[in-house]
């Protein structure tokens, strides 16, 4: 595996060392407004040959202003570029949904606080209020699960079994009744490539996202029905089905099959959550590629590997897999549990170490480990970890390893089986 990855790496590194990508003002101007365009504007602002006038004009075309863009703009013209203000809802329906969700979150948090105080009866009232206001299926599944924990009423398990979602709550419900995990779709496509499409081009992906609003989704998906575009194909197909069908692609088997099953499952679980396997994906904070590496981490890994690469190299899925494998080698020296590895991948190993060393987290007690999983202050890492864990379970089973969620949950309070940070 390492030899194969080295060959791919050599080809990628050579290409990007010789010719780093640069777009002119006119080229940027023609790009669709997107996070992908913002990323190239960020690089444009950092280029020495970019003039102050060009910087001022191109900044007007940004979709979202993050701290990286604000800093690059300041360094170029020594004037501040205001960060985007929080989203204001002008749509009445959207505003009502936001208010309902806000109420639901407050009720849910109050319910957890009451459960900590051993007041399940009062907690149930707040959980029912949360359930009434939540709209998203995932959040309703979460509330039904906690109603089950608070009441021990198996009717809530029956409700979860009817859910079309695949998450830790529905997986727990399935195992509670000793049932089979829900059906998922893993496409096996015969066609290798899609004509006239570069999977490593973020702007090509941005243009597809624009087309999602106006084209027939089934027709659009079929244009990318190939092995190298399987992430894009499954992304569109899931949207077409209004997410009632769940896709778990397993691409790049020519490299992945040489890894351990556990490492394969981890990379697949993370990639599915990060980008849905879209190689040229860019987030609004400029996490890049299929594995959503931040620029600083790309540079750090490249330095450790003694490579000189352009950031765009990470849009090659093989390079993304190689760097993810390398980074996971580091994380798994200290973390053995997929949930904790997911926390570290998302929020950093420093945050994860501090979180685990807190004597109130992931120890034995009432409603554990669920309470520790639900009360993490870092909202993004909290939800990310739960979703990656569910993905991991599915992928382990798809790879032929019988893995259930209960055994993984039971060991979360046993440091020797999960991490090196706790005693």
Which sign, positive or negative, has the C-alpha torsion 257, 263, 267, 270?
positive
Helix (H) or strand (E) holding 323: helix 317-331
Residues 9 and 51 in one domain: yes
The residues with which 335 forms a beta bridge, in sequence order, are: 419
pLDDT at 86 (0 to 100): 52
Q: Answer yes or no: do 7 and 41 share one domain.
A: yes
Q: Which helix (H) or strand (E) holds 112?
A: helix 92-116
- The distance in angstroms from the start CA to the end CA of the chain is 35
Would you state the structure tokens that stand for residue 294, as one six-digit string?
């931040």
Q: How remote is the C-alpha of 151 from its chain's centroid?
A: 32
Residues 104 and 170 in one domain: yes
pLDDT at 93: 74
Q: How many folded domains does the chain comprise?
A: 2
CA separation (Å) from 236 to 15, 166, 230, 268, 387? 31, 18, 10, 19, 20
Question: What's the chain's Rg over C-alpha atoms?
Answer: 23
Regarding whether 163 and 109 lie in a shared domain, the answer is yes
pLDDT of residue 2: 52
- CA distance linking residue 144 with residue 124, whole number of Å: 10
What is the model's pLDDT at position 82? 81
- CB < 8 Å & 24+ apart, contacts of 53-61: 54/25, 57/25, 58/25, 58/28, 58/29, 61/28, 61/29, 61/33, 61/37
Tell whether 141 is covered by a domain. Answer: yes
CA 260/CA 278 separation, integer angstroms: 23
Is 146 inside a domain boundary? yes
pLDDT in tens, the chain (423 residues): 554 454 444 444 443 343 467 899 999 999 999 999 999 999 999 999 999 999 999 999 999 999 999 999 999 999 998 877 655 555 677 788 889 999 999 999 999 999 999 999 999 999 999 999 999 999 999 999 999 999 999 999 999 999 999 999 999 999 999 999 988 999 999 999 999 999 999 999 999 999 998 999 999 999 999 999 999 999 999 999 999 999 999 999 999 999 999 999 999 999 999 999 999 999 999 999 999 999 999 999 999 999 999 999 999 999 999 999 999 999 999 999 999 999 999 999 999 999 999 999 999 999 999 999 999 999 999 999 999 999 999 999 999 999 999 999 999 999 999 999 997
| Residue 196 Rama label (left phi>0; alpha psi -120 to 50; beta) | left
pTM of the model: 0.93
Q: List C-alpha distances in Å: 244 to 163, 239, 240, 241, 275.
A: 10, 9, 9, 6, 19
Q: Quick one: pLDDT at residue 94?
A: 75
Q: By residue range, what is the domain housing residue 113?
A: 99-176
Q: Output the pLDDT for position 275.
A: 98
Residue 316 lies in a domain: no
Please tell me the predicted confidence (pLDDT) of residue 16.
Answer: 39
Q: Are residues 105 and 151 in the same domain?
A: yes
Angle 168-176/137-151 helices, nearest 10 degrees?
40
- How many C-beta neighbours within 10 Å does residue 374 have? 18
- Is 152 a domain residue? yes
Instruction: Enumerate residues 6+ apart whose C-beta is below 8 A from 3.
Output: none
Domain boundary among 176, 209, 238: 176
Whole-number pLDDT of residue 22: 85
Residues 122 and 71 in one domain: no
Q: For position 6, what pLDDT does the model report?
A: 45
Does 305 map to a domain? no
Q: Which helix (H) or strand (E) holds 183?
A: none
- End of a domain among 176, 207, 231? 176
pLDDT at 205: 98
Tell me the sheet residues that pair with 288.
282, 293
Rounded Cα–Cα distance for residues 130 and 7 (Å) = 53
Q: Looking at the domain assignment, is residue 46 inside a domain?
A: yes
Asked if residue 56 and residue 8 are part of one domain, the reply reads yes
pLDDT at site 12? 44
Q: What is the rounded CA–CA span in Å between residue 390 and residue 403? A: 11
Tell me, yes or no, whether 243 lies in a domain: no
Select from 24, 47, 77 the last residue of a domain.
77
54 located within any domain? yes
- CA dist 213 → 63, 95, 127, 240, 248 (Å): 17, 22, 36, 11, 24
Note the residue count of the chain. 423
How far, in Å, CA of 89 to CA of 98, rounded? 9
Q: Are residues 61 and 112 in the same domain?
A: no
């Amino acid at each position: 595996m390492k030899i194969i990855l080295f060959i791919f790496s050599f080809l990628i590194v050579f290409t990007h060392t010789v010719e780093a990508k640069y777009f002119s003002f006119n080229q940027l101007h023609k790009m669709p407004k997107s996070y992908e365009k913002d990323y190239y504007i960020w690089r444009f602002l950092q280029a020495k040959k970019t003039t102050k006038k060009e910087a001022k004009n191109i900044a007007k075309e940004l979709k979202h202003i993050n701290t990286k863009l604000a800093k690059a703009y300041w360094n170029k013209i020594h004037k501040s570029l205001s960060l985007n203000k929080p989203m204001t809802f002008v749509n009445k329906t959207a505003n009502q949904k936001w208010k309902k969700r806000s109420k639901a979150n407050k009720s849910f948090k109050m319910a957890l606080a009451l459960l900590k105080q051993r007041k399940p009866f009062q907690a149930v009232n707040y959980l029912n209020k949360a359930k009434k206001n939540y709209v998203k299926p995932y959040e309703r599944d979460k509330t039904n699960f906690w109603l089950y924990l608070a009441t021990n009423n198996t009717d809530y398990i029956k409700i979860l079994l009817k859910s079309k979602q695949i998450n830790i709550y529905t997986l727990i419900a399935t195992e509670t009744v000793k049932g089979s995990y829900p059906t998922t779709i893993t496409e096996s496509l015969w066609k290798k490539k899609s004509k006239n499409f570069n999977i490593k081009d973020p702007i090509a992906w941005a243009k597809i996202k624009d087309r999602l609003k106006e084209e027939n989704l089934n027709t659009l998906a079929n244009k990318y029905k190939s092995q190298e575009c399987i992430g894009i194909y499954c992304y569109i197909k899931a949207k077409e089905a209004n997410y009632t069908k769940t896709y778990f692609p397993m691409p790049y088997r020519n490299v992945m099959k040489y890894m351990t099953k556990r490492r394969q499952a981890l990379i697949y679980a993370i990639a599915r959550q990060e980008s849905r396997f879209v190689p040229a994906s860019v987030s609004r904070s400029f996490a890049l590629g299929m594995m959503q590496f931040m620029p600083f981490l790309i540079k750090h890994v490249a330095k450790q590997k003694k490579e000189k690469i352009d950031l765009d190299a990470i849009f090659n899925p093989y390079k993304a897999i190689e760097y993810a494998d390398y980074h996971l080698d580091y994380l798994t020296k200290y973390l053995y549990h997929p949930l904790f590895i997911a926390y570290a991948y998302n929020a950093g190993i420093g945050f994860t170490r501090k979180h685990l060393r807190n004597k109130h987290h992931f120890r034995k007690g009432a409603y554990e480990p669920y309470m520790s999983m639900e009360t993490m202050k870092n909202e993004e890492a909290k939800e990310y970890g739960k979703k990656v864990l569910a993905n991991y379970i599915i992928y382990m089973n798809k790879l032929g390893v019988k893995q259930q969620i209960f055994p993984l949950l039971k060991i979360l309070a046993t440091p020797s089986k999960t991490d090196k940070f706790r005693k």
